[in-house]
C-alpha cells in the first residue's frame, strides 16, 4: 500500500475512533464508514477489530459504567496514534491481532459504495451532456 494512502486511512480511522470515544458517533455508524475496501494496513485492521469488539459489548456498557469508561479511554488512546498517522504500538497489535474481528463485517461493501457509484454516474452524465452540442441546444437553464 502506498505510504500516503496508509497514512490517510490511519487518520480517517483515528477520526472515527475519536468520535466514538467522544460519544458523538455511534459505533455501528463508524463500522459502516470504516475505510476497509482494499485496506491492508495492520494498524487500521487492528483498530477495526478494537471498534468491532467495543460495539459488540454494547449491552455490557449499559450495565457496567466503569467498564464502558475504560473502553472509551482505550479508544481515545488508539485514536491519538492514528490521528497522527502513526501505526499502533506492538503491545496493542499483539493483543488484538490474535482475536481479529469477525469476517461478517470485514471488507463488506457499505452504503458509501452506493453513494460513490451514484456520484460516478452523475459525473458521467454531466460530462456527456456538457460535451454534446446537440443536447446543449435543447437544454434550457432553470429559472
pLDDT, tens digit, for every residue of 27-75?
888 888 888 655 678 888 889 888 988 888 877 877 788 888 888 999 9
pLDDT band at 103 (very low <50, low <70, confident <90, very high): very low
pLDDT band at 97 (very low <50, low <70, confident <90, very high): low
**Count of domains for the chain:** 2
If asked whether residues 85 and 114 sit together in one domain, one would say no
If asked whether residues 31 and 62 sit together in one domain, one would say yes
Mean pLDDT within 14-20 = 94
If asked whether residues 15 and 68 sit together in one domain, one would say yes
Determine if the pTM surpasses 0.85.
Answer: no
If asked whether residues 85 and 137 sit together in one domain, one would say no
C-alpha atoms less than 13 angstroms from C-alpha of 4 in its C-beta half-sphere: 0
**Structural domain of residue 62, as residue ranges?**
3-107
Give 79: exposed, middle or buried? Use CB within 10 Å, 0-12, 13-18, 19+.
buried
Alpha-helix runs per DSSP H in 1-143: 3-21, 27-32, 42-56, 58-63, 65-83, 90-97, 111-131, 133-138
CB 43 within 8 A of CB 113: no
Q: What is the pLDDT of residue 104?
A: 47
If asked whether residues 42 and 93 sit together in one domain, one would say yes
Mean pLDDT within 15-27 = 92
Mean pLDDT within 114-137 = 74
Mean pLDDT within 67-90 = 91
Amino acid at each position: 500500500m502506498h505510504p500516503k494512502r496508509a497514512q490517510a486511512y490511519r487518520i480517517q480511522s483515528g477520526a472515527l475512533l475519536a468520535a466514538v470515544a467522544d460519544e458523538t458517533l455511534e459505533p455501528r455508524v463508524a463500522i459502516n464508514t470504516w475505510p476497509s475496501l482494499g485496506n491492508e494496513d495492520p494498524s487500521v485492521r487492528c483498530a477495526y477489530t478494537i471498534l468491532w469488539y467495543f460495539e459488540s459489548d454494547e449491552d455490557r456498557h449499559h450495565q457496567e459504567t466503569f467498564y464502558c469508561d475504560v473502553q472509551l479511554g482505550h479508544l481515545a488512546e488508539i485514536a491519538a496514534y492514528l490521528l497522527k498517522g502513526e501505526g499502533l504500538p506492538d503491545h496493542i497489535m499483539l493483543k488484538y491481532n490474535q482475536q481479529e474481528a469477525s469476517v461478517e463485517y470485514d471488507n463488506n461493501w457499505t452504503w458509501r459504495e452506493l453513494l460513490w457509484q451514484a456520484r460516478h454516474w452523475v459525473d458521467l452524465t454531466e460530462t456527456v451532456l456538457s460535451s454534446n452540442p446537440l443536447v446543449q441546444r435543447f437544454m434550457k437553464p432553470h429559472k
